[in-house]
């Protein structure tokens, strides 16, 4: 199972997190927005996958709702996987 680690202290903006996803998943045509994130996580990412977001409180302290919106997309992808895929084929979201 592949694990992708996001450190909330390392990324000071949602833009930086989108750039991280584009690089990590080798998405050359990624739109760097939550709609594109949903589309690619639900169609173009090999499963099983764990996305582990550590130091999430540092991200929550950023101004605005962009981090919350991005996190909600990740939660929705996880819920979609739970409803449609076997446990061994799902995205798992871990927050610390």
Q: How far is CA 21 from CA 42, 48, 86, 87, in A?
A: 14, 16, 24, 23
Domain boundaries, the chain: 2-95
More confident residue, 13 or 79: 79
**What is residue 3's predicted lDDT score, i.e. its pLDDT?**
97
- pLDDT of 48-91, one tens digit each? 999 999 998 887 777 678 889 999 999 999 999 999 999 999 99
- 19 contacts 11 by C-beta, under 8 angstroms: no
Q: How many CB atoms are located within 10 Å of the residue 16 CB? A: 11
**What is residue 25's predicted lDDT score, i.e. its pLDDT?**
96
- pLDDT of 23-37, one tens digit each? 999 999 999 999 999
Q: How far is CA 61 from CA 15, 54, 58, 66, in A?
A: 16, 14, 5, 11
**What is residue 42's predicted lDDT score, i.e. its pLDDT?**
95
Domain 2-95 classified CATH 3.30.370.10?
Answer: yes
3-state SS, residue 30: coil
User: Band of the pLDDT at 95, cuts 50, 70, 90?
Assistant: very high
**What is residue 64's predicted lDDT score, i.e. its pLDDT?**
77
Q: How many CB atoms are located within 10 Å of the residue 7 CB? A: 14
């Amino acid at each position: 199972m592949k694990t992708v680690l996001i450190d909330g202290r390392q990324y000071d903006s949602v833009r930086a997190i989108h750039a991280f996803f584009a690089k990590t998943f080798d998405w050359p045509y990624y739109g760097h927005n939550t709609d594109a994130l949903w589309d690619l996580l639900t169609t173009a990412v090999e499963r099983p996958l764990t996305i582990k977001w550590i130091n999430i409180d540092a991200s929550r302290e950023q101004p605005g709702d962009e981090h919350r919106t991005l996190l909600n997309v990740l939660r929705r992808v996880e819920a979609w996987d739970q409803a449609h895929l076997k446990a061994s084929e799902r995205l798992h979201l871990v927050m610390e």
